[in-house]
Amino acid sequence: MGRSTEAKDAVAARLKVDLSGQVAIVTGASQGIGRAIAETLAANGATVALVARNASKIAAVAAAIRAAGGAAEEFSCDVSKADSVAAVVDSTVAKFGRVDILVNNAGVTRDTLLPRMSDEEWDEVIATNLRGPFLFMRAVSRPMMQQRYGRIINVASVVGQIGNPGQANYSASKAGLIGMTRTVAKELAGRKVTVNAVAPGFIASEMTAALGPLVLEEVKKRVPAKRIGEPWEVAEAVLFLAAPSSAYVTAQVLTVDGGMIG
């Protein structure tokens, strides 16, 4: 069965940006939003360094990007480990001579109410969702400042803005990421490096699918748009912030949630 007219129109109306000659690093690129971001950047001309823990999954994403005519390299990496992060950035710069775009998308959840939350459940989420972006931003800041150009986009969440029961660790990590985004943006603005965040709401993914159809129907009732967002809609927001023309947009949070917290 072919795609609906509405779906075809959405594809035809996609944002187009010339990223030819630019190099992007995307963490958590093996699936979901991260994969959509990586494929969108590649489709607009960027060479994409794909970062994730699962080597086989990112190899499949890299193969798909190359099959579509794009350029990609894959790196298996634990984003919470400083040495691993530095190795990814150093290898990217050594091979391609520069890094222009960083998208910190890697994230995990370990949901439970605060009285039952273990130290390990807190630490793991903070390590991946907050320490990881810190390590990558620190690592790319020098080459970006030296070339006097850079775009850093951190994938936060509406949960970091409004909270959510059972996600004290996750909401803290995303709220911290928003605060770090705004601070680092002020530190790097004078070197023509922008730092922004995208805060998705409920987006179609393995995580939301696990909620089940009944819960998803209730979620849709809470969203003014009356639907779940698509990964490519977050990717389009990232693409806008990654564009050379977005040079005067920095220290901002672009919320992609169908009006849920507007």
* Residue positions annotated with a catalytic role: 170
Q: How far apart are CA 98 and CA 94, in angstroms?
A: 8
Give me the residue label for tokens 């972006």.
133
Q: Are 28 and 57 in contact (CB under 8 A)?
A: no
| Strand order through the sheet with 23-27 | 71-76, 47-52, 23-27, 101-104, 150-155, 193-200, 253-256
Cα 71 to Cα 46, 237, 240, 248, distances in angstroms: 7, 21, 20, 28
Q: Which of 199, 261, 189 is nearest to 224 (CA)?
A: 261
Could you tell me how far CA 185 lies from the centroid of its own chain? 17
How many Å from the N-terminal Cα to the C-terminal Cα in the chain?
Answer: 36
Tokens 């977050």 locate to 234
